[in-house]
Amino acid sequence: MPKFICDKDYPVVATEKGKIRGFVYEDVFTFYGIRYARARRFQMPEEVPAWEGIKDALGYGYICPVLNTSQPSMEVLMTHRFWPENENCQYLNIWTPTLDPEAKKPVIVWLHGGGYSAGSSIEQANYDGHNMAIKEDAILVTVNHRLNAFGFLNVSDYGEKYWNSQNVGMADLVAALQWVKKNIAGFGGDPDCVTIMGQSGGGGKVTSLGQIPAAAGLFQRQMVMSGAAGSKTVPNPKAAKPKEIVEAILKAAKIDTVEELEVLPSTLFIRAVNQAVYDLYQEGKTVGWGPTPNDYYLGNPFDVGFCDHAKKCPTLIGSVVSEMGFAPIPKSVNKMTEEEQLEMIREKYGDNTDKVVELFKKAYPDKALVHLLNIDLWMRPGHVGYAKEKAQQAEAPVYNYLFTVEFPYEGGKCAWHCSDIPFWLGSCDTQPIDDFEGSAALEDVMRHTLAVFAKTGDPNNDKLPKWNPTTADCANTMTLDLTCAEKPEFDTELVKFLLEVAPPRPFSLGAPQKPDSESDRAWMY
User: 215: burial class by Cβ within 10 Å (0-12, 13-18, 19+)?
Assistant: buried
pLDDT at 513: 79
Integer CA distances (angstroms), 172 to 58, 399, 506, in order: 22, 28, 30
Q: Residue 501: which residues within 8 A CB-CB, separation 6 or more?
A: 349, 352, 356
pLDDT at 135: 98
Q: Please tell me what DSSP assigns to residue 170.
A: H
Q: Are strands 105-111 and 189-199 parallel, antiparallel or unpaired?
A: parallel
Q: Residue 123: which residues within 8 A CB-CB, separation 6 or more?
A: 63, 80, 81, 82, 112, 113, 114
Query: Could you give the CA distance from residue 34 to residue 240 in angstroms, rounded to a whole number?
Result: 37
How confident is the chain (525 residues) per 10-residue block, as mean pLDDT?
Answer: 91 98 98 98 98 98 90 80 93 98 98 95 95 98 98 97 98 98 98 98 97 98 92 89 97 97 97 96 95 97 95 97 88 91 94 96 95 94 95 96 96 94 97 95 98 98 98 97 97 96 77 68 44
Query: Could you give the CA distance from residue 192 to residue 215 in angstroms, rounded to a whole number?
Result: 13
The number of beta carbons lying within 10 Å of the beta carbon of residue 170 is 27
Query: Could you give the CA distance from residue 169 to residue 385 in angstroms, rounded to a whole number?
Result: 27
pLDDT at 326: 82
Strand-pairing partners, residue 476, are 488
Query: Could you give the CA distance from residue 415 to residue 140 in angstroms, rounded to a whole number?
Result: 24
Amino acid at site 140: L
In three-state secondary structure terms, 325 is coil
Helix 266-282 with 242-253: angle, nearest 10 deg: 120
Q: CA neighbours within 13 Å on the CB side: how many for 340?
A: 10
In three-state secondary structure terms, 394 is coil
8 Å CB contact between 42 and 258: yes
Amino acid at site 497: F
pLDDT at 73: 73
User: 30: burial class by Cβ within 10 Å (0-12, 13-18, 19+)?
Assistant: buried
pLDDT at 517: 58
Respond yes or no on whether the N-terminal peptide bond of residue 408 is cis (omega within 30° of 0).
Answer: no
Query: Could you give the CA distance from residue 424 to residue 480 in angstroms, rounded to a whole number?
Result: 11
| Rg (the chain; Cα; Å) | 23
pLDDT at 523: 44
Q: Please tell me what DSSP assigns to residue 408.
A: S
Map out the domains of the chain with their CATH numbers. Answer: 4-233+298-316 (3.40.50.1820), 240-287 (no CATH), 332-375+397-501 (no CATH)
pTM: 0.96
First to last CA, the chain: 50
